[in-house]
């Protein structure tokens, strides 16, 4: 008798939209980004993967996404944030309309980053359904590789939202 197949994860973007929408997750992700310098897409990737990743696997994800993050995502984010208070004497409505279009472009850039990470994972084989245990291990390794300092509490709190 064969064992039942292991449950597979949804695609990365669908997982991220669902997980990020849970109470407390967005705040935890933004804290990890702002206070500890972690890329939210890599944080979500570590939560999405239902298997414990090796150092080489996380390093590959970092290497794949670092140029995109630095050259596309972060400049869009910085520009969006710069326009938040307006840009006098330019018309407020026009500036905020531009800011909204930049925010949309930033979200699309993050979606493309996630597509690249999804493809990276799929090249390794089926992606198992997320688990708190795997997410915690993956997040701790990501934090160590990114020298994220004392982020253990925030990482464990985030992984707890997978329950």
What pLDDT is recorded for position 3? 60
The Cα 121–Cα 126 span in angstroms is: 8
The Cα 2–Cα 80 span in angstroms is: 53
Chain centroid to CA 89: how far? 36
DSSP letter string, 118-154? HHHHHHTSPPBPP-HHHHHHHHHHHHHHTT--S-HHH
Tens digit of each residue's pLDDT (9 = 90 or more) over 118-163 = 999 999 988 989 999 999 999 999 999 999 888 888 898 899 999 7
Tens digit of each residue's pLDDT (9 = 90 or more) over 72-125 = 999 999 999 999 999 999 999 999 999 999 999 999 999 999 999 999 999 998
The packing angle between helices 25-36 and 40-48, to 10°, is: 130
Look up residue 161 and give its DSSP letter. T
């Amino acid at each position: 008798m064969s064992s039942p197949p292991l449950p597979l994860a949804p695609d990365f973007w669908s997982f991220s939209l669902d997980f990020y929408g849970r109470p407390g997750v967005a705040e935890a992700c933004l804290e990890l980004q702002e206070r500890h310098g972690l890329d939210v897409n890599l944080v979500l990737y570590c939560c999405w993967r239902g298997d414990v990743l090796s150092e080489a696997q996380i390093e590959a994800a970092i290497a794949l996404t670092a140029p995109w993050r630095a050259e596309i995502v972060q400049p869009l984010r910085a520009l969006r944030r710069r326009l938040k208070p307006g840009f006098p004497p330019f018309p407020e409505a026009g500036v905020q309309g531009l800011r909204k279009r930049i925010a949309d472009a930033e979200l699309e850039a993050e979606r493309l980053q996630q597509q690249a990470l999804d493809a990276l994972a799929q090249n390794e084989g089926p992606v198992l359904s997320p688990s708190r245990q795997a997410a915690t291990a993956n997040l701790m390794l990501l934090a160590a590789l990114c020298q994220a300092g004392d982020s253990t509490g925030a990482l464990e709190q985030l992984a707890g939202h997978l329950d």
